[in-house]
A = this chain, B = another copy of it.
Amino acid sequence: MAELVAKGKVAKEAAARLIEVMPVMDDALVKMAAALEANAGFILAENARDMENAKRAGMAAQMQDRLLLTADRIGQVAEGIRQVAALESPLGRVLHRAERPNGLKIEKISVPLGVIGIIYESRPNVTADAAALCLKAGNAVILRGGKEAILSNIAIVKVLAEAAQAAGLPAGCIQLIEDITRESAVGLMKLNEYLDVIIPRGGAGLIKSVMENATVPAIETGTGNCHIYVDASANIEMAQEIAINAKTSRPSVCNAAEKLLVHQAVAREFLPGALAALAEKGVEIRGCEKVREIYPAALPMASDEWYLEYLDMVIGVKVVNCLACAIAHVNKYSSKHSEAIITSDTAAAEKFLAHIDSSSVYVNASTRFTDGFEFGLGAEIGISTQKVHARGPMGLMELTSTKYQIRGEGQIR
């Protein structure tokens, strides 16, 4: 806890000083990117030690791949920082302007949030990505990564922080919590005196822990139990193509489809071909009873599986009686991330858009597009599945707050 309080204090001071140095921020970010590349040898050596420990601990191959850095991957991270530097600043925008009858001039402008805490898991590239986005929006950042990546993270933060300070940014604008106990994670979630917001990036367990423990305002991100609904009027070929893309193009990410709902009127036309095509791609098909009647190779589904985010080559399939039934099912079971209807009926499309209670609702497109870059935000710190502050892909504007500035000539009330 001593580390948290000490770093919290420094971060708060740094946040206050960042306001003055914003003119050099883009230049500082470019220099930080260059520093990562110039110090790739040091970072890779520290990462190799993390990898050795991971192997010794018997970490799964997929997890090892997330932990691994290479010269190429460091180059990609540096390029990502340069892209963030090139984005338009989200600060100082006048979001509302009014002159009141009493002559008061009121402006609502975008300002930094202040100090942002990021809690994440094993991928060390998040360290640099998240730090760059927070800084670009004028915020100090306190990072708390996974224990598997601790040596990589210490190295990356050392390189970034030194380059930031050399470029004129205040000391302490990027800090890493090096105590990787559970206590330090929970302590960060409760560091209200110093943190303005905390953002978890990782799996369902981490996000649940943050939502349950945080007293600092937190933004729930990432869990995606996404649905594709094939309506009675769907173009069957398009529906199959979208289902295959949404499920198989990258099954481990949050915007991948996990469930497929099909209107009863097209179930016999759509399911045999689509499910065979999915199975051919290596997807395990699980289904309701009606699905198993039409496609006997489907495995049965447990009722609580409708809530599940598989993040794997598995899909749950259900035949529904009507559009309203599909909407009710989605609103009950989905994690409110991304859902799509495939339809050629405009009224059905508009009803789905209006009634589905999720961050991103699609007509005739794959859920895989829910992403800050795909939406044209230029960058992404995560995808919010809650309703306050930010919803859906979060770009730089979602890392800002607002402030009212009021100019008068002696007005009293």
Q: Give the B-binding residues of A (Cβ under 8 A).
A: 16, 19, 98, 100, 104, 106, 108, 113-114, 192, 196-197, 211-212, 215, 217-219, 235, 238, 241-242, 245-246, 249, 331, 349, 353-355, 357-366, 368-370, 374-376, 386-389, 391-393, 401-413
| Chain B hits for A410, CB < 8 A | 235, 238, 241-242, 364-365
Q: Is the CB of A362 within 8 A of B408?
A: yes
Q: Is the CB of B404 within 8 A of A375?
A: yes
Q: In the complex, what residue of chain B is closest to A113 when comparing beta carbons?
A: B387
A128 to B185, CA, bound (A): 41
Q: Is the CB of B369 within 8 A of A406?
A: yes
Q: Is the CB of A402 within 8 A of B392?
A: yes
Q: In the complex, what residue of chain B is closest to A241 when comparing beta carbons?
A: B412
Q: Is the CB of A387 within 8 A of B401?
A: yes
| Chain B hits for A349, CB < 8 A | 407
A196 to B388, CA, bound (A): 8
Q: Is the CB of A355 within 8 A of B386?
A: no
Q: Is the CB of B368 within 8 A of A407?
A: no
| Chain B hits for A241, CB < 8 A | 410, 412
Q: In the complex, what residue of chain B is closest to A243 when comparing beta carbons?
A: B412
From A100, A353, A409, A413, name the one whose CB has the most chain B CB atoms within 10 angstroms: A413
| Chain B hits for A359, CB < 8 A | 403-404
Q: Is the CB of B365 within 8 A of A104?
A: yes
Q: In the complex, what residue of chain B is closest to A366 when comparing beta carbons?
A: B412
A402 to B16, CA, bound (A): 30
Q: Is the CB of A412 within 8 A of B242?
A: yes
Shortest Cβ gap from A334 to chain B (Å): 13
Q: Is the CB of A361 within 8 A of B413?
A: no
Shortest Cβ gap from A108 to chain B (Å): 8
Shortest Cβ gap from A322 to chain B (Å): 16
Q: Is the CB of A389 within 8 A of B388?
A: yes
Q: Is the CB of A374 within 8 A of B412?
A: no
| Chain B hits for A387, CB < 8 A | 113-114, 196-197, 217, 401
Q: Jot down 13 A-B pairs with beta carbons below 8 A, ordered by A.
A: A104-B374, A113-B388, A192-B211, A211-B215, A249-B413, A349-B407, A360-B406, A361-B405, A362-B406, A363-B407, A364-B408, A365-B408, A391-B404
Q: Is the CB of A409 within 8 A of B114?
A: no
Partner of A375, one of B106, B238, B408: B106
| Chain B hits for A375, CB < 8 A | 98, 100, 106, 404
Q: Is the CB of B369 within 8 A of A98?
A: no
Q: Is the CB of B368 within 8 A of A392?
A: no
Shortest Cβ gap from A282 to chain B (Å): 18
Q: Is the CB of B374 within 8 A of A403?
A: no
Shortest Cβ gap from A190 to chain B (Å): 9
A364 to B403, CA, bound (A): 17
| Chain B hits for A411, CB < 8 A | 364-366, 369
A32 to B244, CA, bound (A): 51
| Chain B hits for A100, CB < 8 A | 374-376
Q: In the complex, what residue of chain B is closest to A328 when comparing beta carbons?
A: B16
A114 to B387, CA, bound (A): 8
| Chain B hits for A114, CB < 8 A | 357, 387
Q: In the complex, what residue of chain B is closest to A349 when comparing beta carbons?
A: B407
Partner of A413, one of B245, B353, B354: B245
Q: In the complex, what residue of chain B is closest to A392 when comparing beta carbons?
A: B404
Q: In the complex, what residue of chain B is closest to A235 when comparing beta carbons?
A: B410
Q: Is the CB of B403 within 8 A of A361?
A: yes
A406 to B245, CA, bound (A): 17
A242 to B403, CA, bound (A): 21
| Chain B hits for A360, CB < 8 A | 403-404, 406
